[in-house]
Structure 1
Amino acid sequence: MTAASRHPHQSGRAHAMALHAATTKLIGAKFRNPRAYDSGDDTGHGTHTSSTAAGNFVSHASAHGLGRGTAAGIAPHAHLAMYRVCIILGCASSDIVAGLDEAVKDGVDVLSLSLGPFFDVNFTDDPVAIGTFNAVAKGVVVVAAAGNNGPRSFIANSAPWLLTVAAGSVDRSFQTVVQLGNGEHISGEAFNQTANSSSNSAPLYWNKHCKSSLAGRNVSGKIVICHNTGPMNDTGSAINQSDISGIMSAGAAGIVLINRKDAGFTTLLEDYGSDVVQVTVADGNDIIEYARATSKASAKVIYKNTVLGVRPSPTVAAFSSRGPSTFSPGVLKPDILAPGLNIIAAWPPLTILGSGPFNIRSGTSMSTPHVSGIAALVKSSHPDWSAAAIKSAILTTADITDSAGGPILDEQHQRATAYAMGAGHANPIKAIDPGLVYDLSITEYAGYICALLGDQGLATIARDPTLSCKMLPKIPEAQLNYPSITVPLRSRPFTVNRTVTNVGPINSVYTLKMEVPKSLTVRVYPETLVFSKVGQKKTFSITVSRHRSVGSKALQGSLSWVSKKHVVRSPIVASPLL
C-alpha cells in the first residue's frame, strides 16, 4: 500500500508516503526540491500522518502524559515510502506533480495527501487534481484532505477521483475542570497538565483580549479569563504565544482561554504552555457571568488527564471544510468523516512545532491518514478492486449515527449535513465487506471532465494535448456512477442512473430502503436487485422531485440496498442551486 502526505494547510512543507509489503516499515524516502536538502521531516507533519495510517503497535505511548496506552496506525502491517514535495516556504506545483508521478512509478497502492490549497482553485489549475488523475488511472487509491477552512469557507480536493476526508472528534477528552468559587464545575481541556496537589483557589480576572499588555495590570496570582479571537484552523496557535507568555510572566496563576463563537463545542488543543485551560464559548460565558456577578470571584483548576466515553461523538470539527464544491457542486464533497481532532500520533524528537516521540495535532491532515489506512486494509483484502470500488466500499458502509445511537452532530451540536460529513463516519470493519460497489473507470472520469471542462480541460488534467472529447461520452455530474447521489431540486422530476456490482455472496437479493423528507419525492426502479454471481452488475434509476418551493435549502435523504448480510447506503442531496 502507498500513501503520500503533504501540507500547505500550514506553511507548505510536506512529505508523501507509500506502503508496501516489505521487511521494514519505511522502505524509502525521496525529495524533489533541492532546497529541501534531504527527505527528513523537520516539522513533524509527515511523521504524524504516516504513523496514523500505518504505525506499528507501541505500548505506553502518550503525549505530554495524556492519552497513555498502546498506539497503532490503522494499517499497522503496511509499509511506507515517503516523498517530500514541499519546503518551509511552500510547495511548487511541479514538485507536487513530479512526486505523485514518482510514487506511481514506484508501484504504490494508496496515496495519502494531507494538503490542500490556501484558496479556491479550478481543477485545471490544481496540481493535486492533475497529478492524481494519472494515479487513479493506474489503479492507485488517492485519499486527500478536505481542508481546514470550516465551518463556512471552501472545500479543498473536491475532484471526484479523490476520496476527500472531513475531520471529526473522538470519544476522548483531555479534561481539565475549572471549579468556580460558587461550586460550579466547568469542563475544559488542557494540552499541558500538572499534578493537582498544588492547585489552590485564585481570584478571577476577566479581559476580552489575550494581549501581553495585560502584564502591566494587576494579574499577579490571578486566573485570567480572555477570548481566543484568532483564526480557527490548524495553522498553529491562534493566540500569539508571546502574549500568553507575557501574561504568565506577570505572575498570573493561570489562563482560561475561551474558544471563538463559531468553534462551537470544538476545542482544538494548542500547546500554550502550562496552566492554560481551553473552554467552549458557552462554558466561558458562564465563567464570565460568575466573575462579573461578584467582586470576590475565584476558581481553582483540577486536572483529570484523559477521560474516555465522551458524548456526543463523533462530531464534525468546526475547522473541517464544508461542501458543496465550487467547481463541481453536482458531486457530493466531502466524501467521508474520520477522526481529526486532537489526535495523538508519532512525532520527531525535536521540531519547531513540538517534541516527540508523540504529539497532539488537529486537522483534516489528521483525518486523511485514518481513511488511507482503511483503504490499505480494503486493498489488501481485495487486491483486484479498482480505486473507485475501494472508495465506494468505504462510503457505502459509513456510520451515520454517533456512539449513543443518535445522528452525527456538527460543532454547534446541530444535526450534521452531508456537506459536513459526506456519507458518514468511516467504519474500517464494514468497509472490508460492502456487498455492492459503485465502480468507475478512468474513461468515465474523462467523460465527466469533458462535460464539465471540455477538450482543454481533459488535455490539461490528463496531461496529453492529443486527447479529445470527440470519442468520449460526456457524463454530467449527476450521472457519474458515484456512491453519493446529488441532483438538482426541481418541481419537474429529474432522473439519474446508477450501476452497482455484486462483490458479496453469489446469490444475493437486495431490497430498497428509502429515508427522505416529506417535501421530497424519490422513486427508484427497480425496487429489488437480484444477483446470481459475483461481479454481476445491475442498473437502477432514481427520479427526484419536490412538492413545494424550499428556497435555497438543499434537501437530504438516503437510499439503501438491504440484503440479509449487507446494507449499502448512499446519501441523496437535492439542491435547488444546481
Structure 2
Amino acid sequence: MLRVCCLQTAQDQVDIISLSVTPNRRPPGVATFFNPIDMALLFEIMSRYTGTGERKLYKLLLARHALNDDTLVLMISIQFDLCWDSPLSNGPQKQPKASVQLVWSSYMDPFVIGFQLNPVPMQNPGIIIASKNDSKLAKEKTKCVCALLEWILIFLFYHIALRMKPAHPIVSVCLDYWNSLVLELFEPHQDWMTSFGPRHTASVAAGNHGIPVIVAGHHFGNASGMAPRSHIAVYKALYKSFGGFAADVVAAIDQAAQDGVDIISLSITPNRRPPGVATFFNPIDMALLSAVKVGIFVVQAAGNTGPSPTSMFSFSPWIFTVGAASHDRVYSNSIFLGNNVTIPGVGLAPGTDEKKLYKLILARHALNNDTSVADDMYVGECQDASKFNKTLIKRNLLMCSYSIRFVLGLSTIKRASETAKNLSAAGVVFYMDPFVIGFQLNPVPMQKPGIIIASTNDSKILMQYYNSSLEIDAVSKKIVQFGAVAGICGGLKANYGNSAPKVMYYSARGPDPEDTLPHEADILKPNLLAPGNFIWAAWSSVGTDSVEFLGENFALMSGTSMAAPHVAGLAALIKQKFPNFSPAAIGSALSTTASLFDKSGEPIMAQRSYASPELNQSPATPFDMGSGFVNASGALNPGLVFDSGYDDYMSFLCGINGSAPVVLNYTGQNCGLYNSTVYGPDLNLPSITISKLNQSRIVQRTVQNIAQNESYSVGWTAPDGVSVKVSPTHFSINNGERQVLSVLLNATLNSSVASFGRIGLFGNQGHVINIPISVMVKISSNTSTS
C-alpha cells in the first residue's frame, strides 16, 4: 500500500507550505478530497492551535530528515510501507556478568536510551524509581506528546492527546500508530491497553541494580541492567494483534530524535527485504541515518531468521547490528527412571522427594468415564483437570504430551501444571511429540515438580520404559498395574559451563544483502554478538506475549531482541566515559575489543541447524558473529577508534548505481555534493568486507588514539585465496593523533566461497585492536580455481 512517509512541517513551525507536487492521477473513492495529502493538510489546519493558543502537532506519517540548518524544505515522498516485527521468542538467560559492575561509575545519570517496543509497567521492581531525587536527573528536553486520531465522516476529526511522565528511569512513553489506525488494524481495547505489555528489553539495558528475581515463588538471584541509572524513553510502534508498519516506526524514531535521546535500541526488523535500488534505501534506515547525523547511536537486533546465509534483516553501515549468543548459565533438569536411566530436560521447577520414586501415569490412561481420546484428541496435553480420574493420578507423576499446539500457544505449560495441581499429582512430565522439531524449548516456571523432555529421542526412551512396565489384562485389555516409576531432580539451580558463548541457531547471518536478488553488500553484518538466549529481565504481570509468565514480574526470554539492549546499555556507559564519541566511534570501541574465544579458550562456535543445533556447529565466522562477542571492560578502553560520519555514509549511498534520485527523494540532497566514488570497502569501518575481489584492491583505514601515547605492531592472517599486506607494520601514535593504514589484498585463486582473515594491532600498553577481513568472490589473474 502506498503511504505518505515524509510530512514534517508543522513541527518545524512553518507558516506557509508550498507544494510543487501534484498526484499523477485523480484519487479514487467517494471524492477527490479524500486522499492522504489533502487530508493531512486539512488536519494540520484544524489542529494548528489549541484553545490556549499553544501550538500543537498531531503527526501523520512522517520521517524527519536532517537538512541544512538554514534551509527549510518540505519533502513529500511516496514509499511502499513494510510490516515490521519483533525478533523475540520465549526463553531464559543471563544478566550482565559481575565484571560489568566494575565499569559502572555514576550509573549513567545524564543519558537517555530510546526503545521501540512495548514498555514494561512502571511499577515493575526492575525499573521502579529508586529515589525521590532520581526524577530530577531526567533530561528536561525529553518530552513526548502522542496523539490518538479518529476518523469521523465529512471532515470531522476528534483527537486525544496523551502525555505520560512516568517515574525514573522511564522519562517518557509515546504511542505511534497512525498508519495502523488508517489501515483499520489498531484495536483500542487491545492494542492501546497493551502499551505497558510484556517487553523486557528496556530493563536489560537500564534496569535497576540488584533486584531479586522471584518467579513462581522461586528465587533465581538478583538482576541488574547494563546501565542502571540511565533513563528510558519508550516509543511504542508495534502492537500484539498485527505487528506494526514502517511509517509508525519512523514516527517513533523522529520523536526520539526530537526528544534528545542518546541511544536508540531497536528490537525490531522488517518482515522482508526492502525492494528498490538497495536494502539501505528504506524509510526506517534512512530515518535512522538522520538520527545518526545528530549524534544518536543506533543499535538493532539482527533478527531471528538464522542460521541460513544472507538471512540478515539489519542492513546499513550506520546501524550497529547485534546477533544472539548463548552464555554459560543453564538451568538443567532431569528425570531419573526406575530402570536407572536418567533423561535430561528443562523446566524451572522443584524436584520431587529425592528419597522416593513415583508412579508414572500417562494422561490418556487416566481419563474419567465421561472422556475418551476419540472425543478429545488433545486430552493428552492435560489442559482440563475435569477430564481425568483424580484418584488414579493423586500422588503420582502425570505424563502429558507436548505437541505443536504448545508452540502455537493453543496449549500451555501453565494450564497443564494447574491440571496436575488440581489432581493432586506429585508432579508433571512432558514428553515430546515427534512432530515438534526446530523449536527451542525454554525453561518455564512451575510451582509443582515438573520437567519438559526436549528431545524426541529421549521421549521415545521414556515411553518405551513406560509401556514395557504396564501390566495389561489379557482378556479386557485394560491396564491393571502401572509399573513405571521415576523421580524429578528439579531445575531451579543454575549450572555453569565453559562452552559459551556460541552463536544461537536462530540468530540471523551475513553476508549483508544489498538488494533482493540478492547481491552481497561490502558491509559486515552482524557487527557483534551479545547475550540473547535465556535472558532474565523485567516483565509485565499482565503481559500476554508468554502466558507461561503471566502474573510474574520477571521472565526468561530469548532472541536477538534480548541481545540488542545489552549493547545499548554498554553504549551508554561508553558515551558517559567518552562524551565526544560519535556513533561510529562507539561502534568501533565495541567491535575492535570483542572476544573471539569462549570461556574455555576455544574459538567461538556457531550453531548451523535448527534441528539438533548442539550437534550441528562449527567455528563462527564474521558472517555469524561480526567482530566477536561483546567485551564490556575492553569496550571502555579501546585504545584506537575508527570514525565515520554522515557525509561518509551519504557518499557511500551516492556511490550505489542508480541511487541519485532515491537519495534526493529521501534526504532532499543532491549527490553532486558528495564523493560518489566511495564504496563499501572505502568506509572507515572497523572491518574489511569485499563481496567481489577482482585481482587486487587497496583499502585504507584511519585510526585515532584516544588513550595514552603508544607504539603498535601490526599482524594479520589472510583469508584463503587472498594475500594481504598492511603498511606500516609498526607505528607510534600519540594521544589524539591519527594513523592511516593501507591494506593491499590480492586474489591468489578463483573462488566463489567466502573466506575470512583478520588484522591485529598490538599496542605496547596492552591494547589489542581486531579487524575482521571477509572476502567473498575472488577473481585471480592466475588460472587456479578453488
Give the TM bin, normalised by the shorter chain. Answer: 0.7 to 0.9
Which residue is equivalent to 1:178? 335
What aligned pairs does 1:334-349 form with structure 2 within 5 A after superposition? Answer: 334-349=526-541
**Tell me, what secondary structure is at the counterpart of 1:242?**
coil
Tell me, which stretches of 5 or more residues in structure 1 are unaligned?
8-12, 231-236
Which residue is equivalent to 1:233? none
Q: Distance in 1 between matches of 2:404 and 2:746?
A: 44
Once superposed, what is the RMSD of the aligned Cα atoms?
Answer: 3.5
Pairing 1:126–2:282 present = yes
Superposed displacement of residue 476, structure 1: 1.2
What aligned pairs does 1:329-408 form with structure 2 within 5 A after superposition? Answer: 329-353=521-545, 354-408=550-604
Which residue is equivalent to 2:350? 194
What aligned pairs does 1:18-417 form with structure 2 within 5 A after superposition? Answer: 22=137, 24-33=168-177, 41-45=195-199, 48-65=200-217, 68-88=220-240, 89-122=242-275, 123=279, 126-152=282-308, 154-191=311-348, 193-197=349-353, 200-203=357-360, 212=378, 214=380, 224=399, 238-242=407-411, 253-257=428-432, 262=438, 267-269=441-443, 277-279=451-453, 281=455, 284-289=456-461, 291-292=463-464, 295-296=468-469, 299-327=486-514, 329-353=521-545, 354-411=550-607, 412=613, 413-417=617-621
**Tell me, what secondary structure is at the counterpart of 1:385?**
coil
- Which residue identity lines up with residue 212 of structure 1 in the other structure? Y
Q: Distance in 2 between matches of 1:537 and 1:466?
A: 30
Superposed displacement of residue 388, structure 1: 0.1
CA contact (8 A) 1:214 1:247 kept: no
CA contact (8 A) 1:332 1:484 kept: yes
Q: Distance in 1 between matches of 2:678 and 2:115?
A: 31
**Tell me, what secondary structure is at the counterpart of 2:407?**
coil
1:512 corresponds to which of 695, 700, 714: 714
CA contact (8 A) 1:21 1:78 kept: no
Which residue is equivalent to 1:464? 667
Query: Rg: which structure is higher?
Result: 2
TM-score (norm 1): 0.85
Q: Distance in 1 between matches of 2:539 and 2:600?
A: 33
Shifted more, 31-40 versus 489-498: the winner is: 31-40
Superposed displacement of residue 67, structure 1: 6.2
Shifted more, 27-36 versus 363-372: the winner is: 27-36
What aligned pairs does 1:457-536 form with structure 2 within 5 A after superposition? Answer: 457-460=662-665, 463-469=666-672, 471-488=674-691, 490=693, 492-505=695-708, 507-516=709-718, 519-531=721-733, 533-536=734-737
**Cα-to-partner distance string for 1:105-156 (whole Å, 9 max, x where unaligned):** 1211111111111222254663321211100001110001111112227212
Pairing 1:537–2:738 present = yes
**Tell me, what secondary structure is at the counterpart of 2:286?**
helix
Shifted more, 26-35 versus 379-388: the winner is: 26-35
Shifted more, 512-521 versus 141-150: the winner is: 512-521
CA contact (8 A) 1:111 1:141 kept: yes
**Cα-to-partner distance string for 1:348-401 (whole Å, 9 max, x where unaligned):** 232223333211111111111100001000000001011000000001101111
Q: Distance in 2 between matches of 1:483 and 1:223?
A: 55
Pairing 1:557–2:557 present = no
CA contact (8 A) 2:205 2:566 kept: yes
**Cα-to-partner distance string for 1:418-470 (whole Å, 9 max, x where unaligned):** 2221111111111011011111011010111112252123234xx33343245
Superposed displacement of residue 323, structure 1: 1.3
**Tell me, what secondary structure is at the counterpart of 1:52?**
helix
Shifted more, 242-251 versus 291-300: the winner is: 242-251
- Which residue identity lines up with residue 315 of structure 2 in the other structure? S
- Which residue identity lines up with residue 407 of structure 2 in the other structure? A
- Which residue identity lines up with residue 527 of structure 2 in the other structure? D
- Closer/same/farther in 2, CA of residues 516 and 275 from structure 1, 3 Å limit: farther
CA contact (8 A) 1:60 1:70 kept: yes
CA contact (8 A) 1:189 1:267 kept: yes
- Which residue identity lines up with residue 242 of structure 1 in the other structure? S
2:644 corresponds to which of 440, 447, 461: 440
- Which residue identity lines up with residue 343 of structure 2 in the other structure? I
Superposed displacement of residue 292, structure 1: 3.8
Superposed displacement of residue 194, structure 1: 3.2
- Which residue identity lines up with residue 330 of structure 1 in the other structure? D
Tell me, which stretches of 5 or more residues in structure 2 are unaligned?
1-110, 128-133, 139-167, 179-185, 365-375, 382-386, 470-483, 515-519, 608-612, 780-786
Which residue is equivalent to 1:234? none
Q: Number of paired residues?
A: 552
**Cα-to-partner distance string for 1:220-241 (whole Å, 9 max, x where unaligned):** 76765867668xxxxxx62444
Which residue is equivalent to 1:566? 767
Shifted more, 60-69 versus 143-152: the winner is: 60-69
TM-score (norm 2): 0.64
Q: Distance in 2 between matches of 1:430 and 1:65?
A: 38
Q: Distance in 1 between matches of 2:404 and 2:567?
A: 32
**Tell me, what secondary structure is at the counterpart of 1:255?**
strand
Identity %: 27
- Closer/same/farther in 2, CA of residues 518 and 475 from structure 1, 3 Å limit: closer
